[in-house]
């Protein structure tokens, strides 16, 4: 059962993500990052690989793509805020 991140969990999980370019949204409990690629095909290829993990983990990003940029927002709808799954997916997106 996935749960909203506790204050203690946030203290360990969020700093590394903020260091790698994720930011917390002011108006909801979510994180956002814009990934930039060489061109549209590279961006879309990355989205395709990311989508396979999202589907495997049943945890899906809110994202938009404009040419070579993909803006990703992560939050866990089932709990109304950030959970471990968001940190896990964020780390995967950074690594892809
Ligand atoms: C029914 C289905 O398992 C849920 O809607 C899953 C699907 N993907 C999801 N993705 C995200 N980001 N948050 C969720 O709460 C979520 N829930």
CA of 58 to the centre of ligand 1 (A): 6
pLDDT in tens, 19-78: 999 999 999 999 999 999 999 999 999 999 999 999 999 999 999 999 999 999 999 999
How much is the pLDDT for 42? Answer: 98
Number of residues that make up the chain: 96
35-59 burial by CB neighbour count: b if 16+ within 10 A, else e? bebeeeeebeebbeebeebbeeeeb
Is residue 62 included in any domain, yes or no?
Answer: yes
Is residue 51 included in any domain, yes or no?
Answer: yes
CATH of residue 66's domain is: 3.30.1360.20
Which domain covers residue 24, as residue numbers?
Answer: 7-94
Is 76 near ligand 1, meaning CB less than 6 Å away?
Answer: yes
Is residue 1 included in any domain, yes or no?
Answer: no
Q: For a substitution probing ligand 1, which of 59, 73, 93 has the most ligand atoms within 8 Å of its CB? A: 59
Is residue 77 included in any domain, yes or no?
Answer: yes
Q: What is the ipTM of this complex?
A: 0.95
Is residue 11 included in any domain, yes or no?
Answer: yes
pTM score of the predicted model: 0.96
Instruction: Work out how many domains the chain is built from and give that number.
Output: 1
């Amino acid at each position: 059962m996935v749960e909203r991140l506790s204050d203690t969990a946030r203290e360990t999980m969020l700093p590394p993500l903020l260091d790698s370019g994720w930011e917390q949204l002011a108006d909801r409990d979510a994180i956002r990052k814009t990934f930039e690629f060489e061109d549209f095909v590279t961006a879309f290829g990355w989205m395709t690989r990311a989508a396979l993990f999202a589907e495997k983990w049943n945890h899906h990003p809110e994202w938009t793509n404009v040419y070579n940029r993909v803006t990703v927002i992560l939050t866990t709808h089932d709990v109304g805020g950030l959970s471990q799954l968001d940190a896990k997916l964020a780390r995967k997106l950074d690594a892809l």
